[in-house]
Amino acid sequence: MKNLAILLFDDVEVLDFAGPFEIFSVTNELNNYSLLNIYTVSKNKEPIIARNGLSVNPDFALSEAPLADFLIIPGGYGARAVLNQPDVIDWIKTNAKFAEKVMSICTGSFLLGKAGLLGGLKATTHYQVFDTLAELAPDTEIVKNKRFIDNGKILTSAGVTAGIEMSFHVVEILYGKIVAAKTAEYIEYHGSY
């Protein structure tokens, strides 16, 4: 049983965290909840208000969350404010040190860049903010024509729905093609990954 942590913050893009949450949760469900302990984490465990007003109750505060084997960093307009929250950036760095996979969706890549995790790697993000990512991670090769980039431990995806494709990709790497296909069939996902 591995820990999968999803960072939440105010003004997070809903599908950035909910899409991967659904993919990994359904994979876990279809395997008798034997694969993953999935939980959400925010700065102080208070309800966060996601993009367009959705209220979400995180499972843990930064200070009490278990170390993650797999770490998901979503994006959204709120990611810009998190850039100025050293405690959150430090939490990302600490978890990334021990995690097997660190995955960002959309502008979540900003937080990986700020944490110094993209140096010497390839990365992508939402198509409207390639320049901002290049400023935050100047020694990173920005890839503009891929839905997600897999560097091994560190993965980044383009905007919003690309996080779903990246999640399927990781499920296939971790648990195999048949498990990923069963998850896709169950949620009636007909896209490619």
List the chain pLDDT tens, one digit each, 193 residues.
Answer: 999 999 999 999 999 999 999 999 999 999 999 999 999 999 999 999 999 999 999 999 999 999 999 999 999 999 999 999 999 999 999 999 999 999 999 999 999 999 999 999 999 999 999 999 999 999 999 999 999 999 999 999 999 899 999 999 999 999 999 999 999 999 999 877 7
Report how far residue 45's alpha carbon sits from residue 56's, in angstroms, rounded to the nearest whole number. 10
Residue range(s) defining the domain that contains residue 25? 2-186
> Would 192 be classed as within a structural domain?
no
> Would 158 be classed as within a structural domain?
yes
**What's the CATH code of the domain at 39?**
3.40.50.880
pLDDT digits (tens, 9 = 90+) for 35-81: 999 999 999 999 999 999 999 999 999 999 999 999 999 999 999 99
Report how far residue 113's alpha carbon sits from residue 119's, in angstroms, rounded to the nearest whole number. 8
Kindly give the residue spans of alpha helices, DSSP state H, lying in the chain.
14-29, 79-82, 86-98, 108-114, 130-136, 162-175, 177-186
> Would 117 be classed as within a structural domain?
yes
> Would 42 be classed as within a structural domain?
yes
The DSSP H or E segment spanning 110 is helix 108-114
Number of domains in the chain: 1
> Would 72 be classed as within a structural domain?
yes
